[in-house]
Structure 1
Amino acid sequence: MQATFTHINEAWAQLLITRLYQHGVRDICLAPGSRSAPLTLAAIRLQDTYPQLQLHTHFDERGLAFMGLGLCRARRRPVALITTSGTAVPNLHPALVEAFQTHQPLVAVTADRPEELVGCGANQAIVQPGIFSHHVRAALNLPTPDITLSGGWLAQQLDLALARLHGPGRGPVHLNVPFCDPLYGTPESADFGPWMSDVAPVVTAPDPFPGFTMHRIREPVIFVAGQLDPEEAEAVLMVARDYHVPILADIGSQLRLQDHPCILPHPDLLLTVTHIRRRLKAMNQVIQFGGRLTSRRLNQWLADFQGRHWLVSPHEDGLDPERRALQIQASIPEFCSQLKIPVQGDLGIAPLQAQVIEQLELALTYPFSEPAAARVITDTIPDDMLLLPGNSLSIRLLDMVARPGRGNRCITNRGASGIDGLVATAAGLATGHPAGATLLLGDLSLLHDLNSLALAARSPHPLVIVVLNNDGGGIFNLLPAAAHKDHFQSFFQLPHGLTFRNAATLFGLIYANPDSAGAFQKAYTEACRRGDATLIELNFPSNQSSRIIRGLIKTLEEVRFEE
């Protein structure tokens, strides 16, 4: 590490950035700012030493943070965010909330004014320590750089906080870093070798998973798959295959889009059928892997389940809203390797599944609709391209209608299920994944994150943004708010009358506006083949999807199925 600097600020910042790299950070997302200049310049300098270090910039801290979250999810390693002081800092909060809920190792490095400038009317000075207190796994409020505090002391403090980027309790970390003037150093150079002489190597030893007891299983058993990483999903599917265990898989489980005899297709729709629910009553035990399930019907079925319910997760956070499940903290692959289940017989619901699929196909035939658009995406998406469903209506449509097949990795922001930052997250995913990413989101979600189209336009890999424009909050047509007709539009749906052609032009994105399933499939296929970003806008009547979905559910609830 370089030992000659012009100022303690330079040495302090250089050691901090180096320590981030040694803890696994290979991507740093930077917003412009003056107080953060020592950190930014240190990151730039260190690219010569560490060619793998990549720097990403954006003018908006909120979008920058969600881009970092997307990079974190795509590359599955820690990502750092660097901002200046003041209101730049709380703009990171939404992404840190999502990272906290989903245990993503995001590091917020926030430059700050020295303590004596806070609370006295100084410019761009707010109380920053503890600002993310409930939504980070560790926080470190450093003093201003001081030559009397050795580099070894600084490295030790950083290591204690950054250790929370690893292991079963991992998650976001906040480093608050005040700097005094002069920020950029002086004309004179000094040897900081003695100051750094007591810096010890990084030792990363994440906390082990706690031990668990494998209780006796009450067969027959059914698996429920929530939000899982690929290796967790693979372990669940392997044990299901060995013992013929059926799986009800969430769209974020990495199993829902796979075509396999154990994975029940369209679980959200299957659970509307009386005969299928009756067959599932024969189950004596549910083993659920991961949480944050999308389907309301699946959540309700679990709430009403009368047998034994285990919930296995590598994290200690509670994931059962009903607080009835026995939660087991364990590595899911390790847990699966120890599962022993008597080989089970077939559920006998294949004819019923076929009839559900038949009714679904009829509902998707005409007219071209939002559910039909979701189906086109899952039927057409290239192998290995990532899929990011936006929250609200988009993820529910994919969970409901996606046809199993390609098994693409599906990444969701279901920690807090917000509609903010989806474009930026997708830009991070596409930047970090050579096969690119598809984002399906609603019009309000796109309006919420419109300036992140600047990030999308710089994507080095294919990025396809498909916006379902139903002129407002279409999800509310499926919620009780729809019954309040006098207030529904003004306070829930919020129609805006906007379209996105000019937004695509403003940010330099390729734009398409197909009006049929065939035209959409053609536009989507072409967009996936490009190496840059495309915005595809699909316009639909505000209540079309709700009518189609309600009609389909009513048919499935009332039709006399033949077993």
Structure 2
Amino acid sequence: MEAPFTHINEAWAHLLIDRLYQHGVRDICLAPGSRSAPLALAAARYRDDHPELRLHTHFDERGLAFLGLGLCKAKRRPVALITTSGTAVPNLHPALVEAFQTHQPLVAITADRPEELVGCGANQAIVQPGIFQHHVRAALNLPAPDAALTGGWLAQQLDKVLARLQGPGRGPVHVNVPFREPLYGTEAPVDFGPWLSDVVPVASSPPPLPGFSLHRLREPVIFVAGQLDTDEAAAVLALAERSSVPILADIGSQLRLTEHPCVLAHPDLLLAITHVRRRFKAMHQVIQFGGRITSKRINQWLAGFQGQYWLVSPHEDSLDPEHRATQIQASIPEFCGQIQIPPQRGLGIDALQSQLGEHLTLALTYPFSEPAAARIITETIPEDMLLLPGNSLSIRLLDMVARPGRGNRCITNRGASGIDGLVATAMGLAMGHPAGATLLIGDLSLLHDLNSLALAKQCFHPLIIVVLNNDGGGIFNLLPAAEQKSHFQTLFQLPHGLAFRNAAALFGLAYANPDSAAGFEKAYTDACRKGGVTLIELNFPPNQSSRIIKGLIGALVDVRYET
């Protein structure tokens, strides 16, 4: 490690960046600021000697944090965020909440005023220690840099916190770093070799998962796949294939978009059919892998399931809103490799699934609609491109109507299911994945994160943002709020009357506004073939989707067929 620095702030910040690097950080997201200058400069100098370290910048700290979240999810490794002091810091909170809920290893490094400047009217000074108290896995409030505290001491303090980026209890951490002025050093180098002499390398040994015992199965068995990583999904599918177990797969399971005999197509719609629910009553055992199921019908079915119900997750957090499942903390691939399930008989619903497909095709043929647009994306998305469903209506449409295909990786922000930061998350996904990403997003969600379109100039891989503009909160047409006739628009739907053509021009994005299925398919296909960001705006009447979905469900409820 370098020893000649000009100031203790410089040496302190350099050691912090080096420790991040040793704990696996290869992407640092920075917002501009004065108090954070020692950290930003240390990161830039460190990158000069470590070209694999990438720096990303954004003027909006909330978007910056979601950019980091997207990079974290795309690359599956820790990402650091650096901000200045004051209100810059709480702007990180929404992304840290999402990271906490889904065990993503984000590191919030927040510069701060020294202790003597807090609570006395000093500029840009707020109480920062503990600000993320309930939404980080560990936190460290450092003292202001002091040569009396050795580099070995500082490295040890950082290692304790950064160790929480790995293992079954992993998740975001917060390091608060005060700096006294002068923030910058002089031109005269100082030998900090003695100060660094007791620094030792990071010992990499992530904590193991606890052991688990296999319980007695009750046949017949059905799987439910929640939010999973790709290795977990592969293990679940291999186990299902060995034993012919059917799978109800969530859109974020990495299985919903896979065409496979064990993966039931359109599970949300299947459970709308009375006859299917009767068939499922024959199931005596549910094994759910992962949590946070999007489909309300699957959640309702699980809530009323009368058999034995296990929920397998590598994390100790409870993922059962009904508090009925026996939760098993285990590595999902390890669990799938050890459990033995006798071959299962089929559900006998092949003809019904075929009939469901016919109903769906009919419902989505005319007029061009939001469900039809979601379907076209899953039929047309290039191999290896990532898919990010926005929350609210977008993810429900994809979960409901997506056509199974090549199994594109589908990444969701379903920890807290917020509509904030989705554009920035998608930017991070696309920057971190050469094949690029597609974001299906609602108009209010895009308005919520419009600033993050400025990141487009840093995104050279394909990113296609498909915005469903139904002039407000279209999801509320499917919720009880729609019954509040006199207050529906003013309190829930919030029509805005805005279009996004000029926003695309403002941020230098390619733009298309097709008005037909064929036009959308062409615009989407063309956008996927080129690099950079394309915004495709689709305009629909506010209540069109709700009418189509309700009509489809009504047509399916009493479907009867011969087996």
- TM bin, normalised by shorter chain, reads over 0.9
CA contact (8 A) 2:162 2:173 kept: yes
The residue that corresponds to 2:348 in the other structure is: 348
C-alpha distance in structure 2 between counterparts of 1:234 and 1:188, whole Å: 57
| Secondary structure in 2 matching 1:376 | helix
The residue that corresponds to 1:79 in the other structure is: 79
CA contact (8 A) 2:244 2:343 kept: yes
CA contact (8 A) 2:469 2:540 kept: yes
| Secondary structure in 2 matching 1:524 | helix
**1:13-42 deviations in Å (ceiling 9; x for gaps):** 000000000000000000000000000000
**1:341-398 deviations in Å (ceiling 9; x for gaps):** 1111111110111111111111001000000000000000000000000000000000
List structure 1 runs of 4+ shifted beyond 2 angstroms.
558-563
CA contact (8 A) 1:424 1:456 kept: no
The residue that corresponds to 1:519 in the other structure is: 519
Aligned pairs (5 A) from 1:80-229: 80-229=80-229
**1:498-527 deviations in Å (ceiling 9; x for gaps):** 000000000000000000000000000000
RMSD across aligned positions (CA): 0.6
CA contact (8 A) 1:61 1:92 kept: yes
The residue that corresponds to 2:306 in the other structure is: 306
The residue that corresponds to 2:259 in the other structure is: 259
**1:380 correspondence with 2:380:** yes
C-alpha distance in structure 2 between counterparts of 1:474 and 1:211, whole Å: 46
Q: Which deviates more, 245-254 or 47-56? A: 47-56
CA contact (8 A) 2:10 2:42 kept: yes
Shift of 1:67: 0.2
The residue that corresponds to 2:411 in the other structure is: 411
Task: Give the residue type in structure 1 aligned to 2:181.
Answer: D
| Secondary structure in 2 matching 1:251 | coil
Shift of 1:171: 0.1
CA contact (8 A) 1:504 1:535 kept: yes
C-alpha distance in structure 2 between counterparts of 1:396 and 1:444, whole Å: 16
Aligned residues: 563
C-alpha distance in structure 2 between counterparts of 1:48 and 1:515, whole Å: 49
Aligned pairs (5 A) from 1:35-74: 35-74=35-74
% identical equivalent positions = 80
Shift of 1:125: 0.2
Unpaired segments ≥5 residues, structure 2: none
**1:538 correspondence with 2:527:** no
CA contact (8 A) 2:275 2:560 kept: no
Task: Give the residue type in structure 2 aligned to 1:439.
Answer: L
**1:276-305 deviations in Å (ceiling 9; x for gaps):** 111111111000000000000000000000
Unpaired segments ≥5 residues, structure 1: none
Task: Give the residue type in structure 2 aligned to 1:209.
Answer: L
CA contact (8 A) 1:423 1:456 kept: no
**1:82-107 deviations in Å (ceiling 9; x for gaps):** 00000000000000000000000000
The residue that corresponds to 1:279 in the other structure is: 279
Q: Which deviates more, 341-350 or 132-141? A: 341-350
TM-score of the pair, normalised by structure 2: 1.00
| Secondary structure in 2 matching 1:195 | helix
Task: Give the residue type in structure 2 aligned to 1:66.
Answer: F
| Secondary structure in 2 matching 1:176 | strand
Shift of 1:187: 2.7
C-alpha distance in structure 1 between counterparts of 2:119 and 2:335, whole Å: 52
C-alpha distance in structure 2 between counterparts of 1:250 and 1:10, whole Å: 48
Task: Give the residue type in structure 2 aligned to 1:519.
Answer: G
Shift of 1:472: 0.2
The residue that corresponds to 2:338 in the other structure is: 338
CA contact (8 A) 1:476 1:482 kept: yes
C-alpha distance in structure 1 between counterparts of 2:102 and 2:10, whole Å: 34
C-alpha distance in structure 2 between counterparts of 1:295 and 1:541, whole Å: 24
**1:447 correspondence with 2:486:** no
**1:464 correspondence with 2:469:** no
Shift of 1:336: 0.2
The residue that corresponds to 2:230 in the other structure is: 230
Aligned pairs (5 A) from 1:475-514: 475-514=475-514
C-alpha distance in structure 2 between counterparts of 1:218 and 1:317, whole Å: 25
The residue that corresponds to 2:317 in the other structure is: 317
Aligned pairs (5 A) from 1:232-247: 232-247=232-247
C-alpha distance in structure 1 between counterparts of 2:454 and 2:297, whole Å: 38
C-alpha distance in structure 1 between counterparts of 2:405 and 2:149, whole Å: 58
| Secondary structure in 1 matching 2:357 | helix
| Secondary structure in 1 matching 2:107 | strand
C-alpha distance in structure 2 between counterparts of 1:102 and 1:467, whole Å: 25
C-alpha distance in structure 2 between counterparts of 1:295 and 1:457, whole Å: 36
C-alpha distance in structure 1 between counterparts of 2:561 and 2:113, whole Å: 69
Shift of 1:81: 0.2
The residue that corresponds to 1:10 in the other structure is: 10
Task: Give the residue type in structure 2 aligned to 1:470.
Answer: N
Shift of 1:559: 3.4
C-alpha distance in structure 2 between counterparts of 1:154 and 1:138, whole Å: 16
| Secondary structure in 1 matching 2:194 | coil
C-alpha distance in structure 2 between counterparts of 1:337 and 1:219, whole Å: 19
| Secondary structure in 2 matching 1:194 | helix
Shift of 1:207: 1.2
Task: Give the residue type in structure 1 aligned to 2:70.
Answer: G
Shift of 1:310: 0.2
The residue that corresponds to 1:361 in the other structure is: 361
The residue that corresponds to 1:430 in the other structure is: 430
Task: Give the residue type in structure 2 aligned to 1:351.
Answer: A
Shift of 1:188: 2.2
